[in-house]
Amino acid sequence: MFVIREKCTLFFYSTGWIVSFVQIGIYGSGTTENAAKIIKKILDENDIQSFTITKSKGKSADCVIVLGGDKGVRNYFHRTFDSTSPVLGINEGESSGFLAQIELKEFSSFVGILKKQNYTVEEVPRLGVKIDGKNVYPVLNDVAVFSSKSAMLMEHSLRVNGEEVWHDNSDGIIVSTPIGSSAYSMSAGGPVLFQDSAVFEIISVNSLDVTRRPIIVSNESLIEIDDVSARVHCEAILDGLDRFKVTKTVECTQFFPPAKIIRLKKDSTAISALAKKVHLAEELLSMPPSSKLLLKTLEYEGALTQKDLANKTLLPDRTVRLALSHLLKKGYVKKKVSIRDARQKIYEISKIE
């Protein structure tokens, strides 16, 4: 769902006054309808007109408000190749993110800045991806290539700018952007990169070669994962969401234009968010594996019910209950009543101070 908000700005030229409309779009899915209504009400109270469009290829906007936190922002860029409009990510809960900086409850205090367009726009690099020669959508976080069944080795060759770097047997391989370096690749032992670094990182996951280490390459590089094979078919997983069958080759290059992210808070930078993430990673070392898996699933998927968590992680119901109990006790996760069904409880990551 997209909603466009308009405000009128007047410019005086030699021919007289000309009216210019600044258009603000709202993008969300079925699970964010209530939040969209709240955003609409706040914008209406600030005398900003609105109308609804249904496709990302509709009327262009000067900026777009995206609901659903970091996941919502990733989904938005997956569904549109138009990156000319800067995006403001909104968290409906209290989980701060790298892409979505503002919480829904505090949006009203920032609407004036948004209306005046007095904000900073950060350009976030994306990875363009080809699978067996065919383009798929660009990603913000990472591309992971693994066998379609867990605990099964995958053989592959890595080439950078046409030169072979290694031929390896491992669980899989991850190519990550700087903003994605604090997600899956960090869990796999990769370094955390500052967001303004002009590089990508490549991690061979659980390689049979114990000397294999992650490597950092220029973001102008052509990265080729070739001769991919395993006892079962292999898959490329984009941003932890969609899976595509891989027959032989995956190519990654920098995608243009980059994603444009609106930053409204001057005192809440990527560095502070990174510090929180690193602190959490240190605490994760002593956490049970099931709790780690649930936390990572909630990070990627957003708020979920206990049943959803069991289905997505394939863990037994009892294990999910115990893991949730541990996470709730530690304060990493919070529980609330589902807006769509008051009989259900949903779980989401708590804001980490």
What are the pLDDT digits (tens) for 120-165?
A: 999 999 999 999 999 999 999 999 999 998 889 999 999 999 999 9
Type of residue numbered 273: A
Provide the 3-class DSSP secondary structure of residue 94.
coil
Type of residue numbered 68: G
List the chain domain ranges.
2-118, 126-256, 287-349
What is residue 31's predicted lDDT score, i.e. its pLDDT?
Answer: 61
| Contact call for residues 302 and 67 (beta carbons, < 8 A) | no
Closest alpha carbon to 277 in 318, 332, 216:
332
β-strand pairing of 223-229 with 250-263 = antiparallel
In 36-109 the beta strands, taken as DSSP E runs, fall at 49-53, 63-67, 87-91, 100-103
CATH of domain 2-118: 3.40.50.10330
What is residue 244's predicted lDDT score, i.e. its pLDDT?
Answer: 97
Q: What angle do CA 185, 309, 294 make, to 5 degrees?
A: 40
| Contact call for residues 263 and 122 (beta carbons, < 8 A) | yes
Prediction pTM value: 0.75
Catalytically active residues are: 70
Characterise 331 by phi-psi region: left (phi > 0), alpha (psi -120 to 50), beta (else). left
What is residue 277's predicted lDDT score, i.e. its pLDDT?
Answer: 65
CATH of domain 287-349: 1.10.10.10
How far is residue 33 CA from its own chain's centroid?
20
What is residue 275's predicted lDDT score, i.e. its pLDDT?
Answer: 67
What is residue 154's predicted lDDT score, i.e. its pLDDT?
Answer: 97
Type of residue numbered 322: L
Provide the 3-class DSSP secondary structure of residue 308.
helix
For residue 262, what are the β-bridge partners? 121
Helical residues (DSSP H) of the chain, grouped into ranges: 33-45, 69-79, 111-116, 184-187, 270-284, 289-301, 306-313, 317-330
| Contact call for residues 54 and 28 (beta carbons, < 8 A) | no
What is residue 43's predicted lDDT score, i.e. its pLDDT?
Answer: 86
Which residue numbers in the chain have pLDDT < 70? 1-22, 29-31, 49-59, 81-82, 93-96, 266-281, 339-342, 351-353
Helix 69-79 × helix 289-301 angle, to 10°: 50
Query: In CATH terms, is domain 126-256 a member of 3.20.20.80?
Result: no
